[in-house]
Amino acid sequence: MQVSPKIFYEHCYGRYAIPAVNVFTMEQVLGLFSSGEKANAPFIVQITPAARNYAGPEMLIAMIKAAAKIFPKAVYAVHMDHGNEEHAFDAILSNDYQSVMIDASHDSFKDNVKRTKAVVEEAHKKNIVVEAELGVLSGVEDDLSIDEKYAKYTQPSEVQEFVELTGCDSLAVAVGTSHGAYKFSGGDGIQFSILEEIQNRLPQFPIVLHGGSAVNLEEIERINKAGGQLNEGASGVSPEEIVKSIAYGVCKINIATDTRLLWTRVHREFFRDTPELFDPVIPGKTYVAEYEKFMLQKFDLLGATGKV
Ligand code: G3H
Ligand code: 13P
Ligand code: NA
Ligand code: ZN
């Protein structure tokens, strides 16, 4: 069943968080839906512009619709992640999304407000909710690389005005996380003092945490033992930080990197351990199973298990 993230957020605020996971492949869609149904947990399926370029928007939506039939008890929302106006308006017109993100966070405050407001006006005509972003995450967002030194935390003094002017339904904030497997290379984890100030100025307003992957060191080691060459300085958001952020109004935790690391580990081990095989179904099945296991643990950590 498709549910608006607005309803998810009203229910979870301050108590638990909804994982929002980026999907690119059929195995990921299967693993996500089967885990959500098994855990009786709400989740958000995210589609990025990169995923649309890879699989095609029609393919992604068709896979999601098929998964919803295979797992009829799954309770989920479909979200356009890191869109510009073109992606957002296309998503709104398609009627396939309950939620869109307009990411104008690299623009000036004024332009961010203007661009976000235009998307909100269209989206709200169809009861589609809008996630906006204020502040700039360091690291890599799709093909865009921003130097660590240009990273800008969200300014708490701006959040109230931004939300009032734009009418957005949730706010992605830059409070120390970044995308990818090398978070916190120069920083000190999540800045809870900033999150607290944001919450004081936006009480009960849903906050989104991008860059929510844990980057489990054990996965990195397994990948490297199977021929990978990932830098062991890789690091992510700790389980303690994730759990702590929920009390500060974080309702949606974005995850992509962890599922890519899992894919890499499963496939590298398959090639290393069974060099005589050449069947994509075999590692594919392992990946779906490992993905499901990963998500079941994530639902537990976020407190989302049993919430539907
Ligand atoms: O929306 C997410 C971007 O595609 C970045 O994800 O940091 O896992 O590469 P990533
Ligand atoms: P990770 O790189 O931590 O998985 O973050 C993903 C994300 O924020 C997608 O929008
Ligand atoms: Na998003
Ligand atoms: Zn993101």
What is the distance between the alpha carbons of residues 43 and 187, in angstroms, rounded to a whole number?
A: 29
Q: Which residues line ligand 1 (CB under 6 A)?
A: 22, 48, 50, 81-82, 140-142, 179-180, 256-257
Q: Report whether pLDDT(250) > 60.
A: yes
pLDDT band at 150 (very low <50, low <70, confident <90, very high): very low
Q: Is 133 helix (H, G, I), strand (E, B) or coil?
A: strand
In angstroms, what is the span from residue 275 Cα to ligand 2's centroid?
Answer: 32
Condensed to tens digits (0 to 9), the pLDDT of residues 51-93 reads 999 999 999 999 999 999 999 999 999 999 999 999 999 999 9
Averaged confidence pLDDT in the chain? 94
Contact 180, 257 (CB under 8 A): yes
User: So what's the ipTM on this one?
Assistant: 0.79
Of the candidates 244, 262, 261, 179, which has an alpha carbon nearest to the alpha carbon of residue 207? Answer: 244
CB of 178 shorter than 6 A to ligand 2: no
Condensed to tens digits (0 to 9), the pLDDT of residues 159-185 reads 999 999 999 999 999 999 989 998 865
What is the distance between the alpha carbons of residues 10 and 27, in angstroms, rounded to a whole number?
A: 31
Note the pLDDT of residue 211.
95
pLDDT band at 189 (very low <50, low <70, confident <90, very high): confident
Contact 247, 199 (CB under 8 A): no
Q: Could you say which of 81, 96, 103, 258 is catalytic?
A: 81
**What order do you get walking across the sheet with 178-179 strand by strand?**
144-146, 138-141, 178-179
What is the distance between the alpha carbons of residues 297 and 31, in angstroms, rounded to a whole number?
A: 13
Which tokens hold the place of 224? 């490297």
Q: Which of 210, 237, 238 to mutate to test the pocket of ligand 2 (most atoms within 8 A of CB)?
A: 210
Note the pLDDT of residue 137.
85
Q: For residue 211, which atom of ligand 1 is closest to its CA?
A: 7
CATH H-level superfamily of 5-302? Aldolase class I (3.20.20.70)
Q: Which range among 107-111, 136-140, 141-145, 289-293 shows the weakest confidence by mean pLDDT?
A: 141-145
> How long, in residues, is the chain?
308
Note the pLDDT of residue 138.
67
Of the candidates 202, 217, 121, which has an alpha carbon nearest to the alpha carbon of residue 162? Answer: 202
Looking only at the bridges linking them, the beta strands covering 144-146 and 138-141 are antiparallel
Residue 103 bears catalytic tag: no
